[in-house]
Structure 1
Amino acid sequence: MLSITVYSDFVCPFCMLGEQVLTDAIGNKDISINWRAFELRPYPVATLRPEDSYLPTIWQQSVYPLAERLGVSMQLPTISPQPRTDKAFELLVMAQDKGLDHEYSMRVLRAFFQENLDIGDPEVLVTLAADVGLNAKDARQALENGIYTDRHREALRHAREDMAITSVPTIVVGKQVFRGTPSISQLREAIDLLEA
């Protein structure tokens, strides 16, 4: 099966919006979406706070207009400071092993941007993992014991060094790399080339 890779951070609203454009571009074609980690603010970098001016401004100027255009319901989460995403990405590794990385990633994005859930909380993450068919007990043990920590670190190294990712979403369709949210027409052209 053909696949498209999305490098994302679960606290980036444009990753959720980019997925909608990508899904629209794929349509009924047999193409999978594979999700990869890129933490925008890895520890010890401070995460953003919704009460500061930056996030509300970006949401008013860019996120809400694009979300409305795409028909995606989302709100600026109130969790402050924004959660770190390393633990969510550790469970992404688990989801990748089960072929559930798209379902899991979308569940985490919806939890944060539609349900205002703290995706830095391990118990929330275990519930979200179970929602998409992962074993809750295994997910909890994985987080408690750091089972996927090394693989997550390697995924971050790969994104930064091998792929030179600097922003999310970064969408890789064959040999074409889109930084940010491309138009549906750009994606359709790239998908046509991928299929060819």
Structure 2
Amino acid sequence: MRGRSHRRLAPGICAQPACGVADSSAESGPTPAAQRERNSICVPEATGRAQHKISTRVLWSAQTPRRRTLPLSENAERLSMIPMPTVRIDCWADYVCPFCYLQMSVLERFIEESRVPFVLEWHAFELRPEPIALIEPDGEYITNIWLNAVYPLAAERNVKVQLPPVAPRSRLAFETAFFSRTVGRFNAVHRALFKAYFEHGRDIGRADVLLDIAAECGVDRAALAASLAAQRFKTAIEDDEARAGRLGVTGLPFVMLSHTSDEARTRPPVVVRGVAPVEHLTAALDRLVADMPSADLRLLARKKRAAS
């Protein structure tokens, strides 16, 4: 696998570094430490502590200046005229990562409640690519992780999951998802792959299972079979993972918010690592928008729309 090195991981568990500052400008050149800090929100992976809690921490720069805002009543007409900036969300995930599945509903809620135009793209990140050895799915380590971290978080977020009986590689699943994107069925297949593995224990490492799942979502079986046999999206998957390596991705899920306008692309993105609550994603969005021109008015406009 080009572009990054892989850690040895238990099946279904996502490596997440200890809470720290992520370099959110890895593709746009060096960034001062204070800027890296204020543009990073880090939520560590659940580590199976006895209290069944997921510790969180938001990292902001102490040098962040206070901003003056004007009352909504004095700016109502002007605020209503301000176009909201389009925000790009890039999310790296793996179909064998339970925390990625559990983060999906939170991300969807964030997008719905923010009332901001978003462009969302999911990217491939194989936790256990060839030739990394797979660990038995019913081993003590993986069982403890699920009991102490995955199941409590799933109950909190009201998501049905069960420890899968198999631990497949995910390359073919990504090939299936990428093909589905070309025929307009990505969203359906993306969700179906997660559900098939974490709710029904289906082996998403097998081509015949993937063909069934995709066909259930309206994807042509023969066309997908030909694509899988040819490894049509091998380069695209490896490009996603190479980019993840440049960004410093070492655990999942990994969410990056950035500007889409030409004049704002030079500003560093904001990164949210791990199974973050909606509040952390909202804080990341606030930080991103606050760095734009007329930030105060845009932020007030977003809050006004969300409250209406």
Taking structure 1 as the reference length, the TM-score comes to: 0.89
Letter in 2 for 1:36: H
* Alpha-carbon offset, residue 151 of structure 1: 2.2
* Alpha-carbon offset, residue 141 of structure 1: 0.5
What's 1:180 paired with?
274
Letter in 1 for 2:283: E
Letter in 1 for 2:168: P
Residue 169 of structure 1 pairs with residue 253 of structure 2: yes
Deviates more, 1:166-175 or 1:114-123: 166-175
Question: CA distance change for structure 1 residues 6 and 99 in 2, over 3 Å: closer, same or farther?
Answer: farther
What's 1:43 paired with?
130
- Aligned length, in residue pairs: 193
Contact 2:270 2:284 in 1 (8 A): yes
**Secondary structure class of the residue paired with 1:5:** strand
**Secondary structure class of the residue paired with 1:153:** helix
**Secondary structure class of the residue paired with 2:122:** strand
Q: Quote the Cα distance in structure 2 between the aligned partners of 1:167 and 1:8.
A: 9
> Gaps (5+ residues) in structure 2?
1-85, 259-268, 290-297, 299-308
Deviates more, 1:185-194 or 1:88-97: 185-194
Q: Quote the Cα distance in structure 2 between the aligned partners of 1:103 and 1:21.
A: 17
Question: CA distance change for structure 1 residues 135 and 193 in 2, over 3 Å: closer, same or farther?
Answer: farther
Residue 52 of structure 1 pairs with residue 139 of structure 2: yes
Contact 2:270 2:287 in 1 (8 A): no
Question: CA distance change for structure 1 residues 159 and 100 in 2, over 3 Å: closer, same or farther?
Answer: farther
> Gaps (5+ residues) in structure 1?
none
Question: CA distance change for structure 1 residues 33 and 47 in 2, over 3 Å: closer, same or farther?
Answer: farther
**Secondary structure class of the residue paired with 2:126:** coil
Cα RMSD (Å) of the superposition? 1.9
Contact 1:92 1:104 in 2 (8 A): yes
Cα deviation, 1:133-158, whole Å, max 9, x if unaligned, reads: 33221111111122222222222222
Q: If each structure's helix is expressed as a fraction of its own residues, which one has the higher value?
A: 1
- Pick the aligned partner of 2:237 from 152, 169, 173: 152
Taking structure 2 as the reference length, the TM-score comes to: 0.58
**Secondary structure class of the residue paired with 2:130:** coil
What's 1:116 paired with?
201
Q: Taking every aligned residue pair, what percent have the same amino acid on both sides?
A: 31
Rg larger in structure: 2
* Alpha-carbon offset, residue 117 of structure 1: 0.4
Q: Quote the Cα distance in structure 2 between the aligned partners of 1:24 and 1:117.
A: 27
